[in-house]
Structure 1
Amino acid sequence: MNRAEFHVADSCIGCGKCVLVCPGGVLSLGEDHKPRIKDFSEFGWIGHGCWRCEHCLAVCPQGAIRILGHKPEDSLPPVSPDSAAPFMDALIAVRHSHRRYLDRNVEKDIIDDMVARLGNAPNGSNKQQVEFTLIDDKEQMKIFRSTAYNRMTELAEQGVYPEGFEGIYYEDMKNWEKTVRPDMLLCGVPHALIPHAPIGSGEYRADVLVAGTYFELLCASRGLGSVMLTFPLNALKQMPEIKSMLGIPEDHYIGMIIGFGYPEIEYARGTQRQIPPERVHRLTFK
């Protein structure tokens, strides 16, 4: 049974590259030097099946392989290092954590496109288990923010603070509302994306953090501001009834909340931060 919908066109030259890059080891060359896929019961590592990584489709020099209903002609071509490297260098340097946003929705087609592209983010064994909770309407975000903020304030008045932000540290966060952020909890973001994955399955911590990092770069490439927020997670631990509004299963790991939207303040240039040599530990073995 060809569960992966794996098909090889006559243009295949039998180079075997698809076999060499298949992490699941489900491909082999037949006597005719054409790749074949073995039968398997389920996708992924556990089922000894196709990992759904599409490496075979991507590596084929002839564009002869179709898999999972995807055609090679619909794939993006590789980017030349001569043009990609300077662009990526600039993108990383000009990506900033934005803490003030316009009261404006990002167009849904832009949001949908960015979230869909997270399917290309690396994840352990290509399990593709990260789920995304999304607040894509600023009015819905205001409801959640107001509800959570008011409850956080009530708890603080009772001497119950977010973990790690007791007393004076909470007041420091509160004072920041006078300058850098309009609200100490969620920075007034119009939208939020929360990657989460089942605890104990695969590389769930790394998968969630990588997905969040990729989303930040996608935002930067589209002129959007973003900020990785962990303080709200500490606050939400103190108010499970508010956290339940997000509908995230209790057995899922949450690494951050990513706030995003159109920035109120535009940055004129990138930063010049670099890793100093003393933080790079080069190994040599004899």
Structure 2
Amino acid sequence: MIDFKIDEDKCISCGLCAQDCPVGIIEMTPNPSIRKSKEKQCLKCQHCLAICPTAALSILGKKPEDSLSSKGELPTYESMTRLIKTRRSIRKYTHEDIDPELIQELLETTAYAPTGHNYNSVHFTLIDKREELEIFRDKVYEAIKKAGEAKTLLPQFQFLYAIQKVWENNGVDVIFRYAPHLLIASAPKKNSSPFPDCLIALSYFELLANSRDIGTLWNGMLTWVLNDIDPAISELIGIPIDYTVGYGLVFGKSAVSYPRAIQSEGLSLNKVKMDKN
């Protein structure tokens, strides 16, 4: 039941909702409607709710008056360009923790990120307390040590054993970089695109975080541990066994600043021209 409702006093029968429906299940009779037999085809994308010019349409129990208006200030092209070009991977963090309310706001906005087939089921695992992240860090390094000693590490992950030794012998944290917070994105394996969905969501989170002067670092080494070395650690922090770990991201207040952007090595682009024959 998708709970498709039309306020007939507001509806002007413009047909925009029917025209914009990705699966074409909205009919004009003359007001918009969806047959019961077609409700299962609904993607739950809410395009119909978003496009209605008179706020006459409700769906899935969601009312237009509860939606954020698209009218208002947006980032300029120049400001977005500057944010993207000056973004850096941060490997040194202060001892300052990020306000939990701000983290919650960032995550709630990140939940708007697009997903394949509109499944909208990316799962976020957050460790926001430094002492808890330290406990988790120890378990990750221990998992690498066990795999290294048992000689079960795949060739491409052998370097992680050396990094574990650096941690054990010298107390140098190469994997987590002493960051105060960790975010992991995962998604159901049954979804059509669980891995890309996670990457898209974390990319949204990173840009939002950077806009609030929060440094981030994509944590590939942790992701390899969770997916390939010891998946049991994922279950330890509540990631369902039938979920794919897309990626991990550490974040916090940067202890360094970069006065300028780097200079890109250049764009790799193939402009395709198709022959009609």
Short-chain TM bin: 0.7 to 0.9
The equivalences for 1:85-104 within 5 A come to 85-104=77-96
CA distance in 1, matches of 2:102, 2:155: 35
- The equivalent of 2:271 in structure 1 is 282
Is contact 1:6–1:68 with CA below 8 Å preserved after alignment?
A: no
- The one-letter code of the counterpart of 2:49 is L
Match of 2:176 among 163, 183, 186: 186
Match of 2:220 among 230, 250, 255: 230
Match of 1:132 among 119, 124, 128: 124
- The equivalent of 2:211 in structure 1 is 221
Is contact 2:4–2:57 with CA below 8 Å preserved after alignment?
A: no
- Change in Cα spacing, 1:249 to 1:283, as seen in structure 2 (3 Å) is same
- Change in Cα spacing, 1:40 to 1:203, as seen in structure 2 (3 Å) is farther
- Change in Cα spacing, 1:58 to 1:209, as seen in structure 2 (3 Å) is same
Q: For 2:158, what is the secondary structure of its paired residue?
A: coil
Deviation sequence 1:102-156 (CA, Å, 0-9, x none) = 2232111111111112221111121112111111222211111123224434554
- Change in Cα spacing, 1:5 to 1:134, as seen in structure 2 (3 Å) is farther
- The equivalent of 1:67 in structure 2 is 59
Task: Tell me by how many angstroms 1:19 deviates.
Answer: 0.9
Q: For 1:11, what is the secondary structure of its paired residue?
A: coil
Match of 2:188 among 190, 198, 202: 198
Q: For 2:62, what is the secondary structure of its paired residue?
A: coil
- The equivalent of 2:252 in structure 1 is 261
- The equivalent of 1:55 in structure 2 is 47
Is contact 1:227–1:258 with CA below 8 Å preserved after alignment?
A: yes
Q: For 2:137, what is the secondary structure of its paired residue?
A: helix
CA distance in 1, matches of 2:258, 2:72: 27
Task: Tell me by how many angstroms 1:79 deviates.
Answer: 5.9
CA distance in 2, matches of 1:219, 1:40: 43
Task: Tell me by how many angstroms 1:66 deviates.
Answer: 2.8
Is contact 1:6–1:65 with CA below 8 Å preserved after alignment?
A: yes
Q: For 2:2, what is the secondary structure of its paired residue?
A: coil
Give the root-mean-square deviation of aligned CA atoms.
2.9
- The equivalent of 2:104 in structure 1 is 112
Is contact 1:162–1:235 with CA below 8 Å preserved after alignment?
A: no
- Change in Cα spacing, 1:200 to 1:151, as seen in structure 2 (3 Å) is closer
Q: For 1:120, what is the secondary structure of its paired residue?
A: coil
Give % identity: 32
Unaligned runs of 5+ in 2: none
Is contact 2:180–2:252 with CA below 8 Å preserved after alignment?
A: yes
- Change in Cα spacing, 1:242 to 1:72, as seen in structure 2 (3 Å) is closer
CA distance in 2, matches of 1:153, 1:275: 39
Unaligned runs of 5+ in 1: none
TM-score under structure 1 length normalisation: 0.81
Number of residue equivalences: 271
- Change in Cα spacing, 1:125 to 1:249, as seen in structure 2 (3 Å) is same
Match of 1:144 among 132, 136, 140: 136
- Change in Cα spacing, 1:240 to 1:200, as seen in structure 2 (3 Å) is closer
Match of 1:239 among 221, 230, 244: 230
CA distance in 1, matches of 2:3, 2:77: 34
